[in-house]
Structure 1
Amino acid sequence: MATVTGFNEHFDRHGAWRREMGLRVKVLGDWLKEQDLLDDGADERLHSLGDRLQTDKVMVAFVAEFSRGKSELINAVFFAAYGRRIMPASAGRTTMCPTELGYDAALPPCLRLLPIQTRLEPQALVEWRLVPEQWTRVDLDVDDPDQLAGAMEKVSEVLHVTKDEARALGFWHDDRPEDNPPVDAEGRVEVPRWRHALINMAHPLLKQGLVVLDTPGLNAIGAEPELTVSLIPQAQAVVFVLGADTGVTKSDLAIWREHLAPLESSTATRFVVLNKIDTLWDELSTTAQVQAQVERQRTETAHTLGLPVDQVLALSAQKGLLAKVRGDAALLDDSHLPDFERLLGSQVLGARQTMLTSAIASVVGQLHAQAGRTLGVRRRELAEQLLELKGLRGKNHTVIRQMRLRVEKEKADFDRSAASVLTVRSVHMKVLRDVFKLLGSSSIKRSLSELNSLLREPGLKLGVKKAYASGFESLRDVLLQVQALENDIQTMLTASFRQLNTEHGFSLQATPPPDTRRFLEDLTAVERSHLQYLGVGNMVQLARKEFAEKLLRALVARVRSIFETALGELELWNKSLSSQLDAQLRERRKAFGRRIEAIRRIQDAAGGLDGRIGEIDEMDAHLMEVQGRLEALTRELTADKSPRLESAAQPEAVEA
């Protein structure tokens, strides 16, 4: 059986932590609901956090030129438990099209393949994902390694087409003949049969949210703009695989400069793997000499790519896979594969866990404060009612009846004044509609109209960078307008809440609106990836109408995703504010009802006064217990219980 080490164990601990936190979030939500402390806005925030903990994805993108051993590295890290290669990695049989491995419980285990001919259509990849009937589907038997590996070989299939067809598909470049594939005796060119592959299988890591993106070769990446400007930049980690025997070749450097160097300021963690160090193992050289040669290659590679040396790892994926399959601990150590797995696990999952921990602390902190305010209002109203009832001791029925009439009048006055809240909400919703309009599709279309017109013009797009700059400036201005309107809403609600707090003893608080800086940063990252893509020899490709159309569609899809995320956060913020107000109005009406009911019972039953005072004391004691339980539940969620991924010791080999 195979051994399981490194990244797999890191991911298992990460998954276990997410499940534990998700369960605690559910326990907190159920308890808050039982105590009537969970309004609609808070419920939605908690539900959203639970979903994020359950479905959070971690994408690791593997990028390399052909024959660098990238697919073998994927086999060694993720599929060694099958005891054989799953992804095609033998000579002449390698991944020819971008391939995503993930898990969707709604789908059966299958391999879906998008024909290469769809490149002739203007639709972006994100649009083709919504048309499943256009994909060729192959069912997978995840319990049969041979069937699984046989099905995966389809991602290495090729077609032989004419030069004109290859040119139309983006695999033949008259301006860069050195990058063109060889021509056979019949004048035909070999191209991938498939444009994109999606693999859905219940692999333990994939089930926990891992997504593996396998991207083959400079030609494949360059011809698919969505990979460069959308998929790869969204990965949490990018692994660039080189050959230890060759170092950084010209085509390797082209991939790095054109597609990976622009990720420097993104959130992605970039690693470089010098694979195939076993080709340097030489019986005529000492171990020290071989190690010195490997270290020299690491240092030179880091210098060439402008990376810290500790981000460049040297290993042998093939020997690492063999060692896992055989259970050979010594060979596994020599392969240095566990070093890569530990680094990948600690840096990538550690950063992801920090983000989730921050999200938990933010949501739970807001819920704790809101529930605490509600409990404070309830206790204050009980204290006031207690003073009111104690003042009735020794009073006759006339005084008690007058008090009941006074409380009923206070309730009627409150109901009338509370109706003024509708006026505030009307103004609030009007401003909010303006915000929603700004974040709509028509706003995106208007901002990118100049770029859209330019990209649709025939010939070279000489002013395209200026059009990009203008379009993104307009998009940023939209987000700044949104931020200004959000601030107007908060200012208005702060004044209204302050008045309601003064008049009725509420504890309303206008929480800050969503910060647009993150979305501005996302826009800047998208702009940077597009401008970098346009500045590296793709201007000739851009002259092709279908290529320009795909680039534009990919851009619009990415911007729409950013705006929709901003809109979703804004809607949640608005719902939270409205629900907070509704909850306190409801609490006050309940309090009036309890006061009137208590006085009625005292009128109807002699001696009922002391009994009611006792009930209030019991209710106050219960609220104190609820407050203590709230503190305990929220403390369990915000305490640092995350596994120490960054300091994990090298795990021992474990039978899979």
Structure 2
Amino acid sequence: MSFIQALDQHGAWRKQFALRLKLLSEWLIDHELMEPGVRERLDQLHAQVKNDKITVAFVAEFSRGKSELINAVFFAGYGRRIMPASAGRTTMCPTELAYDAELPPCLRLLPIETRLQPQSLLDWRNAPNKWERVDLDVNDPKQLAKAIHKVAEVRRVPVDEARALGFWHDEIPEDNPLPGADGLVEVPRWRHALINMAHPLLKQGLVILDTPGLNAIGAEPELTVSLLPQAHAVVFILAADAGVTKSDLGIWRQHLGSLGDGQASRLVVLNKIDTLWDALSSPEQVQLQIAAQRADSAEILGVPMDQVLAVSAQKGLLAKVNRDDELLKASQLLDLEHALGDRLLAQRRRILSAAVSAGVDALRGEAGRMVRARLRDLVEQIQELDGLRGKNAGVIKQMRLRIEQEQADFDASGAKIQAVRSVHLRLLKDLFALLSPSHLKAEVAALAKQLKSPGIKLGVRRAYDHTFDRLREDLDKADRMAGEIQSMLEGSFKSLNAEYGFSLQAPSGPQLAAYRKDLDLIEKSHLQYLSLGNALRLAQPEFAERLARALMSRLRVVYDTAVNEVELWNKSAAAQLDAQLRERRRNFTRRIEAVSRIQQAASGLDERIRELQAQQAALNQLEAKFGELTEQLMAASEDEPADEALVA
């Protein structure tokens, strides 16, 4: 299955699952089961499936055919090049292609001058008025290609300005661009580009990250410590005739070799194999050359050979446009698409399926407890009324007085329940403080100060180690605090269950220690900048400032995610308690109404018991139906998409 077919299937699965969620939501509303806790779980599930993104980053030195490969894999349907792929330098700034239904088709460009200001790239994303916007006509390939070509624009600036922007290094002259006769040097006009368009693949959640060459990557730390590590797959492109050059190896070692353990999500592509097609060489000899280059590249980069593929992006694009199956086969482009589909989407589907299954299980627990609480109340009412058979009016009156007294006692117990809430919230306040932006900023302050200090930073590695050790200690402490709160919650729920007959069950606590892995990956991605080879670059105040901002931005994402998990846990516990309190108050009202009807008519007792028994039977059917619907939802999270009929 090609990548495009696999992505289509993944998109169909997401749509099918979203439809099942919508039907379940309507069913829960119809049967008055849509309590806040249940709605929270449904909203979370819907957001997980709807907002799931699959990011593929393309990384290469200049002139490796990276943009052409993107055209061939994703945009051949336009019948022409969409990404700029002419000779020489093309994409000069990191470019993201994605789809947001709330925005019109457009290209947004962040001026390169924003590097001189203190905001991080994440901050600039939240300031849309600072970006230059160009509207796109997705139905006009010519206009689309012309507009997107702006990502290749450059400016000519004095050396001092290039130095301030991070494109000129006095200490590393061999990496500097060549000045023109006028003394000016060429730098990218834009710092970052965002393309929003309703391409079928982008609408299904694909995000394409196109990165420029080594100098531009190194000048934007946020790209290498944030965007690349979060990509689900990285396609590293080499030239088939040259193999792994010194600059290619520099990109790999500095920016890709530290992306963590997910090496299966990294593919190496030897592009331009058509340059090896030689009329004086037989097809067998050409294939031997390609195989030798693959083996050499795999050995140098330290990856399995099956992760190194050889293609001709230009011939593959031409073959797709001209519908030339023979040329397409020779280009070997489909081998790359199959590898992307098999490695990336299969892995992403497993991760999403596991998350969705856990969410469905939590949803089943939330709504299931509510149904069982109603069933228990009905059984108690039936038993209570059945005990009145043959009793006189005085006994019935005493029963009403007893129910009213129980209701009064229950209302008076609100102080105890509120005390449980208060203790819970006080402990949570301490936990949130430990994960707050202000606490994070304080923990990173010493490191940020050292990074921004002038000159060679000899002790910066030690400062990094100390900072990340403290952050890991913070997460461990937060995890212990969450465990203590969980134990308190379980004890409080157990006490309330025994005293008031509730069926409360504490939701699973947050696993905050798991975020240590995210910290490890961030630390590892930064270590490349602390080597002796980068000492001179790190000595530059502007670069060190950008590195500090990138670090803080990435850490903030991890802490925000942890806080969101704690908030969901807290809301789930509170919503469950609120739901059972409401059910208990409704139960008191129904019991008093039943006794009142019996007092007013002698035949009311049998009639009310029959009504309750009918409600009990209906509720049993409701519970069975809910179990059936959630079983189907659970199965849908694991099955391949199919055209099966949905259960209404």
Query: Partner of 1:428 in structure 2?
Result: 424
Q: Which amino acid aligns with 2:21?
A: V
Q: Which residue, 179, 185, 192 being the options, matches 2:188?
A: 192
For residue 148 of structure 1, what is the aligned residue in structure 2?
144
Alignment partner, residue 544 of structure 1: 540
Matching residue within 468, 471, 480 for 1:475: 471
DSSP-derived class of the 1:108 partner: coil
Task: Report SS of the residue matched to 1:199.
Answer: strand
1:319-344 C-alpha deviation (Å, 9 max, x unpaired): 11001000111111111111111211
**What are the superposed Cα offsets for residues 93-138 of structure 1, whole Å, 9 maximum, x if unpaired?**
5111111111222222221222222223332222222333332222
Distance in 2, matches of 1:85 and 1:638, equals: 42
- For residues 72-105 of structure 1, the C-alpha deviation after alignment (integer angstroms, 9 at most, x for no partner) is 0000011101100111111135111111111222
1:207 maps to: 203
For residues 158 and 478 of structure 2, the distance between their equivalents in structure 1, rounded to whole angstroms, comes to 51
CA distance in 1, matches of 2:400, 2:349: 56
Task: Report Cα offsets for 1:396-418 as digits up to 9, x if no partner.
Answer: 11111111112222222222234
Shift of 1:643: 6.5
Cα gap change, 1:28/1:640 in structure 2, threshold over 3 Å: closer, same or farther?
A: closer
Equivalent position of 1:606 in the other structure: 602
- Contact 1:233-1:266 at 8 Å conserved across structures: no
Tell me the distance in 2 between the aligned counterparts of 1:395 and 1:433: 54
Residues 288-317 of structure 1: per-residue CA shift (max 9 Å, x gap): 221111111111111110101111111111
Q: Which of 319, 322, 329 does residue 325 from structure 2 map onto?
A: 329
CA shift at 1:429, angstroms? 0.8
State whether residues 177 and 186 of structure 2, in contact with CA within 8 Å, keep that contact through their aligned partners in structure 1.
yes
Gap change, CA 1:224 and 1:636, over 3 Å in 2: same
Q: 2:550 aligns with which of 541, 554, 561?
A: 554
2:626 equivalent in structure 1: 630
Q: CA deviation at 1:266?
A: 4.9
Q: Does 1:80 align with 2:102?
A: no
Pairing of 1:84-99 with structure 2 (within 5 A):
84-92=80-88, 94-99=90-95
TM-fit CA distance, 1:444: 0.9
- Secondary structure of residue in 1 paired with 2:257: helix
Write the letter of the residue equivalent to 1:49.
Answer: L
Structure 1 counterpart of 2:283: 287
3-state DSSP class of the match of 2:258?
helix
Which stretch of the first structure deviates more once superposed, 338-347 or 157-166?
Answer: 157-166
- 1-structure distance, mates of 2:245, 2:81: 27
Question: Does 2:313 match 1:313?
Answer: no
Deviation at 1:23, TM superposition (A): 1.6
Aligned to 1:46: 42
Cα offset, 1:536, TM superposition: 6.1
Specify whether residues 413 and 642 from structure 1 end up closer, same or farther in structure 2 by C-alpha distance, changes over 3 A only.
closer
Name the aligned partner's letter for residue 41 of structure 2. Answer: R
Tell me, in whole angstroms, the C-alpha distance in 2 between the residues paired with 1:610 and 1:128.
70
Measure, in 1, the Cα distance between the counterparts of 2:24 and 2:263. Answer: 31
CA displacement, residues 128-172 of structure 1 (integer Å, 9 cap, x when unaligned) = 223333322222111111111111221112222333333222222
4+ residue runs over 4 A deviation? 640-645
- For residue 489 of structure 1, the aligned residue among 475, 485, 488 is 485
In structure 2, give the amino acid aligned to 1:122. Answer: P
- CA spacing shift, 1:498–1:642, aligned 2, 3 Å: closer
Q: CA deviation at 1:438?
A: 1.3
When normalised by structure 2's length, the TM-score is 0.96
DSSP 3-state at the match of 1:171: coil
CA contact (8 A) 2:62 2:89 kept: no
Tell me the alpha carbon deviations over residues 52-78 of structure 1, each in whole angstroms, 9 at most, x when there is no partner.
Answer: 211221111100001100000000011
Query: Conserved in 1, the CA contact under 8 Å of 2:393 and 2:599?
Result: yes
Q: Is residue 25 from structure 1 mapped to residue 15 from structure 2 by the alignment?
A: no
After superposition, residues 458-537 of structure 1 pair within 5 angstroms as 458-535=454-531, 537=533
Paired AA for residue 165 in structure 2: L
Q: Distance in 2 between matches of 1:177 and 1:52?
A: 48
Distance 1:207 1:621, change over 3 A: same
2:296 partner amino acid: E
CA distance in 2, matches of 1:401, 1:482: 55
Matches within 5 A, 1:115-514: 115-266=111-262, 269-514=265-510
The size of the alignment, in residue pairs, is: 641
User: How far has the Cα of 1:19 moved from its partner?
Assistant: 1.2
On the 8 A contact 2:41/2:362 being kept in 1, the answer is no
Cα distance in 2, alignment partners of residues 268 and 287 from structure 1: 30
* 1:259–1:533 contact (8 Å) kept in structure 2: no
Kindly provide the CA deviation profile for residues 228-281 of structure 1, in whole angstroms up to 9, marking residues without a partner as x.
Answer: 111111111111000111100000000000000001325881111111111111
Q: Do the aligned partners of 1:111 and 1:197 also contact (CA within 8 Å) in 2? A: yes
Query: What value does the CA root-mean-square deviation take over the aligned residues?
Result: 1.7
Q: Which amino acid in structure 1 is aligned with residue 493 of structure 2?
A: F
- The amino acid of 1:630's aligned partner reads F
Name the stretch that deviates more: 259-268 or 581-590: 259-268
Check the 8 A contact 1:233/1:268 in 2, yes or no.
no
In structure 2, which of residues 26, 33, 54 is the aligned counterpart of residue 58 of structure 1? 54
Residue type of the alignment partner of 1:547: F
Shift in CA distance, 64/643, structure 1 to aligned 2, threshold 3 Å = farther
CA distance in 2, matches of 1:559, 1:268: 25
Secondary structure of the equivalent of 1:212? strand
2:565 maps to which of 561, 564, 569: 569
| 1:41-61 C-alpha deviation (Å, 9 max, x unpaired) | 231121122022112211111
Q: Counterpart of 2:259 in 1: which secondary structure?
A: helix
The answer on whether the counterparts of 2:264 and 2:307 sit within 8 Å (CA) in structure 1 is no
| Partner secondary structure for residue 260 of structure 2 | helix
Instruction: Note the alpha carbon deviations across 1:186-219, whole angstroms, 9 max, x for none.
Output: 3332222222111111111112221111101100
Point out the more displaced range, 477-486 or 624-633. 477-486
Q: What is the CA–CA distance in structure 2 between the aligned matches of 1:585 and 1:72, rounded to whole Å?
A: 62
Match for 1:504: what amino acid? Y
Higher deviation after alignment, 335-344 or 111-120: 111-120
Q: What SS is found at the alignment partner of 2:602?
A: coil
Identity, % of aligned pairs?
A: 59
Counterpart-to-counterpart distance in 1, 2:510 and 2:223: 29
Alpha-carbon distance change, 245 to 642 in structure 1, aligned in 2, over 3 angstroms:
farther
Preserved CA contact (<8 Å) 1:360 1:637:
no
* 1:626–1:325 distance in 2 versus 1, CA, 3 Å: same
Q: 1:536 to 1:223 in 2, by over 3 A?
A: farther
Contact 1:519 1:562 in 2 (8 A): yes
Q: Is the 8 A contact 1:234 1:268 kept in 2?
A: no
Which region of structure 1 is more displaced relative to structure 2, 87-96 or 31-40? 31-40
Q: Which runs of 5+ in 1 are unaligned?
A: 646-656
- Provide the C-alpha distance between the structure 2 equivalents of 1:445 and 1:267, rounded to a whole number of angstroms: 32
Greater alpha carbon shift after TM alignment, 253-262 vs 365-374: 365-374
Contact 2:260 2:521 survives alignment (8 Å): no
**Mapped partners of 2:410, 2:324: distance in 1:** 78
Relative to structure 1, is the Cα distance of residues 449 and 346 closer, same or farther in structure 2, using a 3 angstrom cutoff? same
- Quote the offset at 1:522 in angstroms: 0.9
Distance 1:59 1:400, change over 3 A: same
Q: Which residue identity does 1:124 align to in structure 2?
A: S
1:420 match: secondary structure: helix
